[in-house]
């Protein structure tokens, strides 16, 4: 049996490795095998089981979505270290800005009330919508923005799992509401990051970069900070860190941001990713081209090489089998490369999988669908990469299939 000092040293090794700029050792953990065991008997299950003894390694096909937020507070150091240890070859910082125009990692400019302790801190009075308790049919609510804080103030906040108890009567109770398939076990002492700090961390972890320029919650320009200033500053921080453009996939739901990068920073623009929110348009159907708001060939002619819709837009069901959607086929035919989101964000799938599985809900009745859908996305839709809230699931598949 190992001595206690030896065991402690082994447990600390990954942290020390990151601190010294050495990528951590990759481990899948038990979840991939757990999901594979649930698969129906057949070729996919047999193939994945045969890879059980493979040596885990990093894969660019596996993208950490906000790190590993299935169990860790999103956009924290700890969440991204966990994702890297699961072999995510690309890590994400969703980029927002503070009052003093500093870039920080947050999923939205106005999510501090659900992702940090701001409502129970001395900064609660900066919230644009102060906390109001649940009363009658009205839910508890609040809205707190990074753009109301200086960077120094932002750094005082403590991250937490993204959640809110809408029945809360007090700000303290509002901190709850974590989905019962997530956990708060890994939330203690989690640390926020600036965008520049994420670049340094991801590089030390041996990962590449996919920052997303988030839509501002304030009117732009904001105190002299224009949308183009915002888009340019994101790129400038990679250039200042000496990161090659080939290691960066900058993303935005705003097509104008993507076109700006293509024009102003063509090397970075080659891998700029247009996040497609066509699903927000009334009547949109990924199998009816007449409802598609974008001309794929025109996008490609303008220099867009990557497009990224949610998973359900890329697949449909025919004769009980999952197959590529018309949207997916037409995007590929136009020369666009596909990235998709987000696996492992839906919790247990026994009741259809919710939003991310809506186009295949009729055939989704247990967690084995995580691998069944991933298999179709990889082999038939031919996506370049998959965002996941628990990257080990995707990393295992990618390594097993030689992606």
Q: How far is CA 340 from the centre of its chain?
A: 10
The tokens 């070859």 sit on which residue? 89
Pair (52, 125) in one structural domain? no
Residue 84 shares a structural domain with residue 109: no
pLDDT of amino acid 13: 37
Do residues 154 and 219 share a domain? no
Global pTM value: 0.94
Give pLDDT, residue 10: 34
Are 252 and 387 part of one and the same domain?
yes
What angle, 0 to 180 degrees and rounded to 10, lies between the N-to-C axes of helices 369-376 and 31-38? 90
Which residues share a beta bridge with 252?
Answer: 274
Helix locations, 163-254, DSSP H: 171-174, 195-204, 227-240
Containing domain of residue 397, as a range?
33-93+193-401
Task: Look at residue 24 in the predicted model and tell me its pLDDT.
Answer: 81
Instruction: Report how many domains make up the chain.
Output: 2
Looking at the structure, do residues 151 and 233 belong to the same domain, yes or no? no
Same domain, 167 and 197: no
Q: Is 104 helix (H, G, I), strand (E, B) or coil?
A: strand
Residues 367 and 309 in one domain: yes
Note whether residue 280 is domain-resident: yes
Low-confidence ranges of the chain (pLDDT < 70): 1-23
User: 254 in a domain, yes or no?
Assistant: yes
Residue 65 shares a structural domain with residue 108 = no
pLDDT, residue 7, reads 31
Which CATH number belongs to the domain containing residue 308 in this structure?
Answer: 3.20.20.190
Q: Which two tokens stand for residue 239?
A: 């250039």
Considering the domain boundaries, does residue 181 fall inside one?
A: no
Give the strand pairing for 321-324 and 88-91: unpaired
CA distances from 295 to 284, 324, 333 (A): 14, 19, 12
Would you list the DSSP string of 9-25? Answer: HHHHHHHHHHHTT-PPP
**How many other β-carbons are positioned within 10 Å of the β-carbon of residue 356?**
20
| Same domain as 88, residue 118 | no
- Phi/psi at 342 (nearest 5 deg)? -135, 125
Q: Looking at the structure, tell me whether residues 117 and 86 fall in a common domain.
A: no
Tell whether 187 is covered by a domain: no
């Amino acid at each position: 049996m190992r001595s206690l000092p030896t065991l402690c040293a082994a447990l600390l090794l990954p942290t020390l490795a990151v601190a010294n700029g050495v990528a951590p050792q990759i481990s899948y953990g038990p979840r991939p095998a757990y999901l594979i065991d649930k698969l129906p008997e057949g070729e996919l299950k047999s193939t994945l089981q045969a890879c059980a003894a493979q040596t885990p390694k990093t894969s660019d096909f596996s993208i950490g979505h906000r790190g590993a937020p299935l169990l860790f507070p999103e956009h924290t150091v700890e969440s991204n270290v966990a994702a890297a240890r699961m072999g995510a070859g690309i890590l994400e910082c969703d980029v927002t800005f503070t009052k003093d125009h500093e870039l920080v990692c947050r999923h939205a400019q106005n999510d501090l009330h659900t992702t940090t302790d701001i409502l129970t801190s001395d900064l609660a009075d900066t919230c644009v919508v102060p906390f109001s308790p649940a009363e009658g049919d009205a839910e508890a609510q609040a809205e707190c923005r990074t753009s109301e804080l200086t960077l120094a103030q932002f750094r005082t906040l403590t991250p937490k799992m993204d959640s809110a108890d809408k029945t809360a009567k007090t700000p303290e109770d509002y901190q709850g509401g974590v989905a019962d398939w997530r956990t708060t076990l890994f939330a203690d002492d989690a640390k926020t990051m600036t965008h520049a700090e994420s670049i340094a961390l991801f590089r030390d972890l041996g990962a590449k970069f996919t920052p997303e320029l988030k839509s501002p919650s304030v009117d732009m320009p904001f105190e002299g900070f224009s949308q183009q200033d915002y888009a340019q500053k994101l790129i400038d921080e990679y250039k200042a860190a000496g990161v090659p453009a080939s290691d960066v996939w900058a993303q935005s739901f705003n097509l104008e941001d993507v076109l700006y990068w293509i024009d102003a920073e063509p090397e970075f623009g080659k891998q700029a990713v247009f996040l497609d929110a066509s699903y927000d348009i009334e009547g949109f159907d990924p199998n009816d081209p007449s409802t598609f708001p974008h001309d794929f060939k025109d996008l490609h002619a303008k220099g867009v090489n990557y497009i990224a819709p949610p998973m359900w837009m890329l697949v449909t069901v025919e004769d009980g089998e999952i197959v590529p959607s018309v949207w997916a086929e037409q995007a590929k035919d136009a020369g666009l490369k596909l990235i998709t989101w987000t696996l492992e964000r839906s919790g247990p799938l026994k009741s259809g999988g919710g939003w991310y599985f809506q186009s295949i809900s009729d055939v989704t009745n247990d967690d084995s669908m995580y691998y069944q859908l991933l298999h179709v996305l990889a082999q038939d839709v031919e996506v370049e990469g998959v965002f996941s809230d628990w990257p080990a699931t995707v990393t295992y598949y990618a390594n097993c299939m030689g992606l």
